[in-house]
Structure 1
Amino acid sequence: MTTLPDAPPADVVAPRSRRRPGRTLLGAGLIVAVLLAGLSVPYIIKDPYTMGLVLEMALLGLPALGIGFLARHLGLISLGHSAFFGAAAYSVGIAVNRWDLSLTAAVGFAVVVGTLVSLVMGVLVVRASGMGFLMLTLALSMALWQLALQTSFRPWTGAHDGLLINAGADASFLGMGPREIQDPGLFWAGVWVSLMGAALVLWLVGRSRFGVLLEGIRENEERMRFSGYGTFLPRLAAFTLTGVVASLGGALFAVNAGYISPDILGFTRAGDSLIAVLIGGPASLAGPLIGTGLFVWAQAHLNFGGNLHLFTGIALILVLVFLPGGLTGAVQRIARALRKGGSR
């Protein structure tokens, strides 16, 4: 039996000062402070339309967090997280419509289904890297989208018509009735807590020994194998963890919307999430959330004349050419330059 070393080789992943316990506690405290501050959003934003946009930003931020985590810690770019988001959303509708489960039980079931989908997909794709990984995740996601459109699955998925969730007038989720569930201001607290909880978990995992191992695999996978580390299971675990986060977003999205369109499994949704991550910057935890917020805002305010994709393309080109690390990456570079200038 091979005995593994206590830590990844120092020449592969050097320890960083930001992993010190004091810095970890400070960062965790910051996330908790943001969580508490975010709960006041419905009291600040009174307009239902604007609040609906903010809620959509938070829901779509969950799969974006997962995409950013994989890019940051493994250097893997995924176009498959829409599959987990969509599989969980459809699972809520199927569980409610076909099996009469409560909305709360349906959400739990949906997260399990989405997690299993990510696990199965991960087994098939995580051995690949670069363009191969990107295309495999896209191909499997498109296969699930095509499956949802099949007429033979119409009783389950609604095919091209989508799936209406018939929860009933007495349905409840976390103590909220149908009207409260569809009210973005009232539904916000559950979504925001879920988003910040997922962000905290991913942040702690990224700063743990497992996160160091992932970064070692990203930097030099062959060297890690030579040092006695298996790389398949860590990559699979990271991929599945991000699938759990995306599945949670899909389940909450379905409960709030009450309707599931096959478009949530399509290439456009997958591409939009990746674009949002690239614009915000995958190098930090906040980047995918900022990018998602900007993308949702652009959808609402720049979609006149059907030119949203034109503006999106221009924005993506500008970011990739002039801000290769995204918006948050640019802020980090400026902050580092200022610190160096101040230390002279």
Structure 2
Amino acid sequence: MNATIVAKKEPKTLRGNRIGGVLVRNRIPRGALVAVVVLAAGLAVPYIVLDRYYITLLFDGLILSMLALSIGFLARHLGLISLGHVAFFGGAAYGYAIAITRWQFTPLAAAGFGLLVGTVLAIVMGALVVRATGMGFLMLTLAFGQALYALCIQRFAIPYTGAFDGLQAPFPPGTSFLGLSRSDVMNAGLFWPVAWIVLVLVVFGMWVVGRTSFGTLLEGIRENEERMRFSGFDTYRPRLIAFVASGFVAALAGVLFAINAAYVSPEVLGFLEAGDSLTATIVGGASTLGGPVLGGFLYVWAQATFNSSGNLHLYIGIALILVLMFLPGGIVGSAQRLWGRMRSRRKENEK
């Protein structure tokens, strides 16, 4: 009764600004404006970075960033760490390649089919694993991802996946993808705008979800799932929806990768790919949206810089130790905490 009276008396502006109910309305236009500025800045990259080698590195970083974002979404909202998102990444890439090579789909239709394959895999895996938590969830996702890898290299799968030889996926003659020819999409500079637009839309979409009642529900489940159930909330369905949404983002990354590379191999489903994406997430910071993006670009840069020495994994191990010990929230998360402390001290000094 009292709650009803308070809700009626509450000003409309406060109801629109309340976190945990509807969208924080006054923040959405501001966030959209930031997204437009970032989008415009990113579209200028091919005109600034003219060297084909460096623009290719940036494109590889973009793909890894999107895969890391999908992992970070679960870690941020549900506290779940996945090593199986390569199943959706690789499954979507193989779906695209198979549709192109065996069924002669147009590139756009093949991309849609690849997204469907990756999303269906996320639904199937999610229905089986989202009840698990902690190490159990981590190991189950890893097991499913490696099971898919094992299936792709079996002899019966050779006509579809090419096993260890991989699968070439050139465009059928006379076709294009969003007006881009086969040579255009294989050029990182020309294909960059498409991939960048997708990345910005994904980040903005995740940012919006985090400010809805659904995002608040996910955080409540992360903090105390048992209390949420006792309060009458269904916790299984939101966890499954979040898992499928993150799988869809990983599938997007897989399709973009396959279109650009025109080739898919079992490596996209391998443990190393899973480790790379998780490392990028941790180093950048899973607790923020910008963390996985920064981590993806930094990881690809480090891979290109230190791989020739033969000590890449040593350097990665050292970087992980340093981040976990001294920057537990990742680079971006730690920077945000430091900035918050500096602002608090400045306000105290002003008083």
Structure 1 length as normaliser, TM-score? 0.94
Residue 57 (structure 1) shift? 1.1
For 1:48 and 1:276, locate their aligned partners in 2 and report how far apart those are by CA, in whole Å. 23
Residue of structure 2 equivalent to 1:68: 72
Residue of structure 2 equivalent to 1:109: 113
Residue of structure 1 equivalent to 2:221: 217
Residue of structure 2 equivalent to 1:276: 280
Is 1:193 aligned to 2:227, yes or no?
Answer: no
- Contact in 1 for aligned 2:170/2:182 (Cα 8 Å): no
Is 1:234 aligned to 2:256, yes or no?
Answer: no
Residue 23 (structure 1) shift? 2.8
For 1:31 and 1:335, locate their aligned partners in 2 and report how far apart those are by CA, in whole Å. 22
Residue of structure 2 equivalent to 1:54: 58
Aligned residue identity for 2:326: F
Residue of structure 2 equivalent to 1:136: 140
User: Which of residues 150, 157, 164 is equivalent to 2:154?
Assistant: 150
Residue 28 (structure 1) shift? 2.6
Unpaired stretches in structure 2, ≥5 consecutive residues: 1-17
CA offsets 1:44-97 (integer angstroms, 9 cap, x no match): 000001000111111121111111110000000011111100000001110011
Larger Rg: 2
What secondary structure, in the 3-state scheme, does the structure 2 residue paired with 1:321 have? helix
Residue of structure 2 equivalent to 1:311: 315
For 2:205 and 2:24, locate their aligned partners in 1 and report how far apart those are by CA, in whole Å. 17
With 96-105 and 298-307 compared, the bigger mean Cα shift is at 298-307
What secondary structure, in the 3-state scheme, does the structure 1 residue paired with 2:39 have? helix
For 1:335 and 1:78, locate their aligned partners in 2 and report how far apart those are by CA, in whole Å. 29
For 1:336 and 1:197, locate their aligned partners in 2 and report how far apart those are by CA, in whole Å. 27
User: Which of residues 309, 313, 330 is equivalent to 2:334?
Assistant: 330
Is 1:342 aligned to 2:349, yes or no?
Answer: no
Is 1:33 aligned to 2:37, yes or no?
Answer: yes
Aligned residue identity for 2:328: P
Aligned residue identity for 1:28: A
Is 1:289 aligned to 2:293, yes or no?
Answer: yes
Residue of structure 1 equivalent to 2:91: 87
Aligned residue identity for 1:69: F
User: Which of residues 80, 87, 101 is equivalent to 1:97?
Assistant: 101
Residue 305 (structure 1) shift? 2.9
Residue of structure 2 equivalent to 1:173: 177
CA offsets 1:273-312 (integer angstroms, 9 cap, x no match): 0010000001110000000100000111111232111100
Aligned residue identity for 1:319: V
Residue of structure 2 equivalent to 1:160: 164
Aligned residue identity for 1:164: Q
- Contact in 2 for aligned 1:170/1:178 (Cα 8 Å): no
Aligned residue identity for 1:66: S
Percent identity of the aligned residues?
Answer: 53
Residue 201 (structure 1) shift? 1.0
Number of aligned residues: 330
- Contact in 1 for aligned 2:100/2:169 (Cα 8 Å): yes
Aligned residue identity for 2:244: T
What secondary structure, in the 3-state scheme, does the structure 2 residue paired with 1:225 have? helix
What secondary structure, in the 3-state scheme, does the structure 1 residue paired with 2:210 have? helix
For 2:341 and 2:59, locate their aligned partners in 1 and report how far apart those are by CA, in whole Å. 35
Residue of structure 1 equivalent to 2:250: 246
Residue 169 (structure 1) shift? 4.5
- Contact in 1 for aligned 2:100/2:172 (Cα 8 Å): no
For 1:31 and 1:124, locate their aligned partners in 2 and report how far apart those are by CA, in whole Å. 35
Structure 2 length as normaliser, TM-score? 0.92
For 1:233 and 1:97, locate their aligned partners in 2 and report how far apart those are by CA, in whole Å. 36
For 2:112 and 2:243, locate their aligned partners in 1 and report how far apart those are by CA, in whole Å. 20
CA offsets 1:229-280 (integer angstroms, 9 cap, x no match): 0100000000000111110110111011011111110011001100100000
CA offsets 1:176-195 (integer angstroms, 9 cap, x no match): 11111111111011100111
Residue of structure 1 equivalent to 2:127: 123
For 2:109 and 2:28, locate their aligned partners in 1 and report how far apart those are by CA, in whole Å. 34
- Contact in 2 for aligned 1:70/1:76 (Cα 8 Å): yes
For 1:168 and 1:87, locate their aligned partners in 2 and report how far apart those are by CA, in whole Å. 21
Residue 203 (structure 1) shift? 1.1
For 1:15 and 1:43, locate their aligned partners in 2 and report how far apart those are by CA, in whole Å. 40
- Give structure 1 regions of 4+ aligned residues with deviation exceeding 6 angstroms: none
